Chain A
Amino acid sequence: MKKVLNVVVTLCVLLVFFGGAQAAPKPDDAVHYRQGVLMALGWNIGPMGAMVQEKVPFDKERFAFLADRVAQLAPMVIEGFDVSTKDAKSEARSELWENLPDFQKRMSDLASASQKLAIVAGEGDKAAMKRQFGVTVKMCKGCHDEYRVKH
């Protein structure tokens, strides 16, 4: 009985120790997190762009579905841009950390624009959808141009 208790206690201690270590995210994890969210954004924006350019038939329902996802994802990105990731290997340029308030404002503008895109998409006016899509992707490009390594 005592032996079993010993094992249980040891396991609990180990769990707390390693579990605790995992709870504080490493800078690399934050980078992977934001890259994942940005990748997911791109994944959803791609087909929307194809529809907006009429490369594929414009499907209002699918567009609204994708717009909802984008509106969910856009506000999530900023969490990954923690100052602790400043020196982590990523495509963020040092200018981003020098102008952090500007970047944060741009990210919150993107969040508002994509929220508006989801609302507009729900209303179903195709011309308005295209217009708001243009406004939203311009914000993507804004930070890519300013704060992303040219490769």
Chain B
Amino acid sequence: MSNEKVYVWDIWIRSFHWLLIVLILSAWWTAREGGLLMKYHMFCGYGIGILVFFRLFWGVWGSQSAKFSEFIRGPRIVVRAILDLKSRQPEHYLTHNPIGGWVVIAFLLLLVVQFATGLFANDDLFNEGPLYANVTKLTSDWLTWVHHTNFNNLTALIIIHVLAIFFYRVWKREHLVGAMLSGYKYLRDKNASKIRHGFFLPFATLLLSIVIICVIVNFRFNL
């Protein structure tokens, strides 16, 4: 097989992915410990919020493989991709495959819900999200319940995601973890990498995301 090393994930997408894992794990652990560590839980939350906004913007004006328009496909193509799972041939996508594309959307959706509800949550002790003062205790309790319940959804999706990566590794012999680490996939040589973006664009996007989070919480980070 004449496969070629093709650059698919820019450094920003890779950093987003691995930082998100670190922050989700930290958020989970600090929430489980609770009490005085909730301060750091909120810190993780702001970090995740910044990452999610960055990813949303990067999906609109970022590098090609990161763009939603590149990997959001219609139902017919998704069904074909599902049927394609039977074949043990590696797939040759320059971005997420049609199934994975929708999983990205699902992840971002769950994370937005998680971030938004956390802002209003309370722990019935002495920790409150930065926007807790804007709602009644009853509303906050409900949003806290959503925050807890939605974390189970997130956990379920993470498990599905990890199992899927394992499936592609074993069944289709695709090194997706390696690609997310190095940025390179081994693809048929007809696929040429089109990953490029301006030098300042990602920094500007990151700055924009940080500003948005600051505005959302009114600069009251509860730190």
Which stretch (A11-19, A28-36, A49-57, A99-107) binds chain B?
A49-57
| Residue among B33, B35, B36, B125 making CB contact with A42, cutoff 8 Å | B125
Q: Is B97 an interface residue (CB 8 A)?
A: no
For residues 25 through 76 of chain B, which have their beta carbon under 8 Å from a beta carbon of chain A? 33-36, 39
Contacts of B222 in A (CB 8 A): 53, 55
- Cα-based distance from A134 to B36 in the complex (angstroms): 6
- Cα-based distance from A134 to B40 in the complex (angstroms): 14
Q: Across the interface, do B124 and A138 meet the contact criterion of CB distance under 8 Å? A: no
Nearest residue (CB) in B for A151 is B145
Q: Across the interface, do A141 and B35 meet the contact criterion of CB distance under 8 Å? A: yes
Q: Is A89 an interface residue (CB 8 A)?
A: no
| Residue among A50, A138, A144, A151 making CB contact with B126, cutoff 8 Å | A50
Q: Is A124 an interface residue (CB 8 A)?
A: no
CB distance from B120 to the nearest CB of A (A): 14
Q: Across the interface, do B145 and A45 meet the contact criterion of CB distance under 8 Å? A: no
CB distance from B159 to the nearest CB of A (A): 21
Interface of A is mostly: helix
- Cα-based distance from A144 to B35 in the complex (angstroms): 12
Contacts of B141 in A (CB 8 A): 151
A-B contact count (CB 8 A): 44
- Cα-based distance from A50 to B33 in the complex (angstroms): 18
CB distance from A138 to the nearest CB of B (A): 5
Q: Across the interface, do A141 and B36 meet the contact criterion of CB distance under 8 Å? A: no
Q: Is B123 an interface residue (CB 8 A)?
A: yes
Q: Across the interface, do A137 and B35 meet the contact criterion of CB distance under 8 Å? A: yes
Q: Is B80 an interface residue (CB 8 A)?
A: no
Q: Is B148 an interface residue (CB 8 A)?
A: yes
Per-residue contact bits, chain B 2-41, to A (CB 8 Å; 1 contact, 0 not): 0000000000000000000000000000000111100100
Given A141-B35, A150-B148, output 14 extra A-B contacts at Cβ < 8 Å.
A42-B125, A46-B125, A49-B127, A50-B126, A53-B36, A130-B36, A133-B36, A137-B34, A137-B35, A137-B126, A138-B33, A138-B34, A138-B35, A145-B34
Task: Provide a sorted-by-A list of 18 A–B residue pairs whose CB atoms are within 8 angstroms.
Answer: A42-B124, A46-B125, A49-B126, A52-B36, A53-B126, A53-B222, A55-B222, A133-B36, A134-B36, A137-B36, A137-B125, A137-B126, A138-B33, A141-B123, A144-B124, A150-B145, A150-B148, A151-B142
